[in-house]
Amino acid sequence: MLENKNYKFWFCTGSQDLYGDECLRKVAEHSAKMVDGLNASGKLPFEVVLKPTLISQASIRKTFNDANADEECAGVITWMHTFSPAKMWILGLKENRKPLLHLHTQFNEEIPYDTIDMDFMNENQSAHGDREYGHIVSRMGIERKIVVGHWANPEVQEKIGSWMRTAIGVIESSHIRVCRLGDNMNNVAVTEGDKVEAQIKFGWEIDHYNINDAVEYVDAVSKGDVDALVEEYYSKYKIILDGRDEAEFRRHVAVQAQQEIGLEKFLKDGDYHAVVTHFGMLGGMKQLPGLAIQRLMEKGYGFGGEGDWKTAAMVRLMKIMAAGVPNAKGTSFMEDYTYNLVAGDTGILQAHMLEVCPTVADGDISIRVNPLSMGNREDPARLIFTSKTGPAVATSLIDLGNRFRLIVNAVDCKKNAKPMPNLPVGTCYWEPQPNLAVGAEAWILAGGAHHTAFSYDLTVDQMVDWAAAMGIEAVVIDKDTKIRDFKNELRWNAIAYR
C-alpha cells in the first residue's frame, strides 16, 4: 500500500557548443562523476539518472518531453556547467510537467589557486551560467526548487533527497482516490470543500458510497479469517479488559477484525488510497470502525473523521511522501482535542474518537473496549498508546471559497506530565511553535481546522514546496512567526492568490 514506483530523477546538464568538443567531453565527465557521487552518497531516497549534456533547443525540448512521457521519472534536476544561453530552454521548460530542481553547484569545490587560468574559468562557470538559466525560469514564472552548494556536501545531498520526497508528493497526488463512506458532518464548515477544484488543483478523485456497500464486504468475511486476525491482535497488543467479560471483549474485538478485512477488500477493489467515515452514518456497521481504521492507516491508507476528505487525502499524501524514511516515526490523522495551559508545560492533547495511526506510537500498544459516548452503536475496540517525542509537522488544508490554503505548523511533541489511565484513545501531545499562545492564535487567524494531517517524518519546507508546486497558498507557523507580520502576510496573500 505504501510501495512507491521505482522512481528516478533525471540529471540534465546544460552547456553550449561554443567551447569545443574537448570542453564538452569534460562537462560530460564531470556530470557522470557527480551523478555517481550522488547515488553513492546514501542521502538520496531515489536514483539519479544521467542524461546527455544539453546544448540546443531541440535536445532540451526532447529531453523534457521524454521526461514527461516516462512514468518512472519523478523529476528533473538541472545544472548549467558552463554558460547555456537560456532562450534555448524556453520551449522545453514551457512543455515540462515534471517537478524541477535547479542544483546550483559546480564540479570543483575549491578554486584551484595554483593553476587557475582563463580556460578553467570559462569551463567551470556555473556561477555565471546558472544565473542566466535561473533568470528565464523566473521570468516564465515556473515553480522550482533551488539547492545551492557543492554536490558532495552531505547537507546539499540531504536537501536534494528532501526535495525528492516533495516531488514524489507532486507526482503521487494525481493518483490519490478517496472513498467517502458517509458525507461531511452536518453543519460543520471547516471539513467542507470544493471537490471539483480539489481534482483540478491536486488531481484527487473523491467518490462517495453508501456505507452499506462496505457493510456487504464486512459481512462476507469468513469466521476463520476473523479468528486468525483476532489471534494476531492478541499476540501483538496488550489486552486491557477494564473488568469486562473476556468472551464479550473478544467478540467486540472480532467486529473490528471483520471490519479491517472487509474494508480493506472494499478499498482495494475500488482502488482507493484513503477513506472517510462518520460516526453518525454507520448503516449496518455494528461499531464505528476504530481499531480497523487504525490498522488501515498503519498500512498506508489516508483517513479523515466525520467525512473530512481533505484531511484523508493529505494523510495519504504525507504517508506516501514519507514512505521509506529511515527510522520513520510515523504519520497520522490527528485532532486538536484539549489544552494543558499550565505555565511551563503548555500544549495540545491530540487524539480522535478512535482513529489515530499506531505508526506514531511510542512503546506498548493496548486494546481496550469502551463506550463511544457519541452515536448509537456498540462499544468499539480501539488501540491505545501515547506517541513519540520530537519535532514534527501538522498541516491543515482549508477551502476559503475562492482558493485552497495549506497551513503548516512546526510542532514539538513531548510527553504528558502524567499518565491518563481513564482516557481510552491513542494520543499525542505537542506544543505548536513558536509557543502555544502565538501558534494557536496564528492557526486560528489562518482559519486552520481542528483536524490535521501530521508527520514526524516530513518537514515544513517539504510541505511548503509541495503547496507551491500545486499552485496553492501556504502559510507557515514556526519559530519565526510573529502575529503582526503573520496578519499582514494573510492580508497580502488575499490579493496575491485572488
Part in contact with Mn ion (CB under 5 A); list of ranges 215-223, 303-311, 423-431, 479-487: 303-311
> Which of 305, 330, 426, 448 touches Mn ion (CB under 5 A)?
305
Part in contact with Mn ion (CB under 5 A); list of ranges 71-79, 140-148, 301-309, 466-474: 301-309
- C-alpha dihedral (286, 288, 289, 293), degrees to nearest 10: 180
Q: Per DSSP, what are the bridge partners of residue 451?
A: 335
Cα 157 to the center of its chain, rounded Å: 20
Q: Which is nearer to Mn ion, 306 or 457 (CB)?
A: 306
For Mn ion, the nearest residue by Cβ is 305
Part in contact with Mn ion (CB under 5 A); list of ranges 310-318, 329-337, 368-376, 401-409: 329-337
Q: How far apart are CA 123 and CA 131, in angstroms?
A: 15
Under the binding rule (CB under 5 A), the answer on residue 448 touching Mn ion is no
Q: Which is nearer to Mn ion, 61 or 180 (CB)?
A: 180
Task: Provide, rounded to whole angstroms, the least separation between the CB of residue 353 and Mn ion.
Answer: 7
Q: Which is nearer to Mn ion, 300 or 305 (CB)?
A: 305
Q: How far apart are CA 340 and CA 336, in angstroms?
A: 12
The total of other beta-carbon atoms located within 10 Å of residue 118's CB is 7
Write down the number of H helices and E strands in the chain: 15, 19
Q: Which is nearer to Mn ion, 130 or 308 (CB)?
A: 308
Part in contact with Mn ion (CB under 5 A); list of ranges 248-256, 282-290, 305-313, 477-485: 305-313
Q: Which is nearer to Mn ion, 13 or 184 (CB)?
A: 184
Task: Provide, rounded to whole angstroms, the least separation between the CB of residue 375 and Mn ion.
Answer: 13
Part in contact with Mn ion (CB under 5 A); list of ranges 60-68, 160-168, 272-280, 331-339: 331-339
Residue that has been written with the C-alpha cell 521570468 in this structure:
139
Q: Per DSSP, what are the bridge partners of residue 383?
A: 367
User: Of 105-134, which residues contact Mn ion (CB under 5 A)?
Assistant: none
Strand intervals (E) in 421-466? 428-432, 451-455
Part in contact with Mn ion (CB under 5 A); list of ranges 124-132, 207-215, 333-341, 396-404: 333-341
Task: Provide, rounded to whole angstroms, the least separation between the CB of residue 6 and Mn ion.
Answer: 37
Task: Provide, rounded to whole angstroms, the least separation between the CB of residue 423 and Mn ion.
Answer: 16
Q: How far apart are CA 91 and CA 95, in angstroms?
A: 6
Q: How far apart are CA 293 and CA 164, in angstroms?
A: 29
Q: How far apart are CA 133 and CA 79, in angstroms?
A: 9
Q: How far apart are CA 23 and CA 118, in angstroms?
A: 13
Task: Provide, rounded to whole angstroms, the least separation between the CB of residue 335 and Mn ion.
Answer: 5
Q: Which is nearer to Mn ion, 130 or 336 (CB)?
A: 336
Task: Provide, rounded to whole angstroms, the least separation between the CB of residue 293 and Mn ion.
Answer: 12
The mark string for 254-293 relative to Mn ion (x by CB under 5 A, - otherwise) is ----------------------------------------
Written as nine digits, the cell of 453 is 494531517
Answer whether 75's CB lies under 8 Å from 98's CB: yes
Pairing of strands 331-340, 451-455: antiparallel
User: Of 8-37, which residues contact Mn ion (CB under 5 A)?
Assistant: none
Alpha-helical regions (H) of 447-479: 460-470
Q: Which is nearer to Mn ion, 100 or 334 (CB)?
A: 334
How many residues bind Mn ion (CB under 5 A)? The answer is 3
User: DSSP characters for 383-399?
Assistant: EEEEE--EEEEEEEEEE
Q: Which is nearer to Mn ion, 305 or 448 (CB)?
A: 305
The mark string for 334-363 relative to Mn ion (x by CB under 5 A, - otherwise) is -x----------------------------
User: Of 388-427, which residues contact Mn ion (CB under 5 A)?
Assistant: none
Task: Provide, rounded to whole angstroms, the least separation between the CB of residue 451 and Mn ion.
Answer: 6
Cα 331 to the center of its chain, rounded Å: 9
Task: Provide, rounded to whole angstroms, the least separation between the CB of residue 257 and Mn ion.
Answer: 24
Task: Provide, rounded to whole angstroms, the least separation between the CB of residue 10 and Mn ion.
Answer: 42
Query: In the chain, what is the greatest distance between 2 CA atoms, to the nearest angstrom?
Result: 86
Residue that has been written with the C-alpha cell 486560528 in this structure:
444
Written as nine digits, the cell of 322 is 514519507
Task: Provide, rounded to whole angstroms, the least separation between the CB of residue 315 and Mn ion.
Answer: 13
Part in contact with Mn ion (CB under 5 A); list of ranges 180-188, 243-251, 306-314, 410-418: 306-314
- C-alpha dihedral (356, 360, 362, 363), degrees to nearest 10: 70
Q: Per DSSP, what are the bridge partners of residue 238?
A: 366
**Strand ranges across the sheet with 47-50:** 47-50, 8-14, 73-80, 100-104, 145-148
Q: How far apart are CA 241 and CA 477, in angstroms?
A: 42
Q: Which is nearer to Mn ion, 356 or 392 (CB)?
A: 356
Q: Which is nearer to Mn ion, 305 or 347 (CB)?
A: 305
Task: Provide, rounded to whole angstroms, the least separation between the CB of residue 396 and Mn ion.
Answer: 12
Task: Provide, rounded to whole angstroms, the least separation between the CB of residue 448 and Mn ion.
Answer: 14
Angle (CA) 369-367-353 rounded to 5° is: 60
- Residues in contact with Mn ion by CB under 5 A are 305-306, 335
